[in-house]
Amino acid sequence: MTDIAGILLAAGSAQRFGAHKLTQSLADGTPIGVAAASALIAAVPNSIAVVRPDDYPLIKAFSSLGLKIVENSLADQGMGTSLAAGVNASAGADGWLIALADMPWVHARTISMLADTLQNGASMVAPVHAGRRGHPVGFSRHWGERLQALSGDEGARNLLAAQADKLVLQDTQDTGVLADIDHPHDLVRQG
């Protein structure tokens, strides 16, 4: 069995939201970031969270769930630096499943399905719902160096586009793979 690491990207600035969105509560009272982290660690026990330096509310919440913490001092330079920091911190893994902390409605079973696809030899994997590609996205060890070299705010988008023929798309009925929270009104969505 291969060792897949989960990486929760939680170091964004939340400028569009206007507040520390990952600590805001969903309708059931669960903070956004905790909901996303809980699903990830349930499916991929070897998971880490990449956060902004000294983001004590998230560090405490994620640590209590069992995630390892990586503080990204380059977070202001974009998501690519957080993804690179997460891969660097788990460089011994056989692959990575990259989840976004502002996507709290992704089901743990969907994440497990994607992790299984990686473990069974996929080079890259992503969920698809209603014909649209969503998150989280997984990468095999083959992509480690390229992921570690990421910078800017594109994340792995360019890598996925350039290597689309290697991307395994997994159909899912999980609408959460398309639902992120960018603005306060997004909190009322149901995934």
Domain 4-178 top-level CATH class: alpha beta
Instruction: Report pTM.
Output: 0.94
Give the E-state strand segments of 52-188 in sequence order: 68-71, 95-100, 124-129, 132-133, 137-140, 167-171
Domain boundaries, the chain: 4-178
* 14-19, Cβ contacts within 8 angstroms, sequence gap of 24 or more: 16/182, 16/183, 17/181, 17/182, 17/183, 17/184, 18/184, 19/184
List per-residue pLDDT tens for the chain, 191 residues long.
469 999 999 998 766 676 678 999 998 999 999 999 999 999 999 999 999 998 999 999 999 999 999 999 999 898 999 999 999 999 999 999 999 999 999 999 999 999 999 999 999 999 999 999 999 999 999 999 999 988 877 778 888 888 899 999 999 999 999 998 887 878 776 54
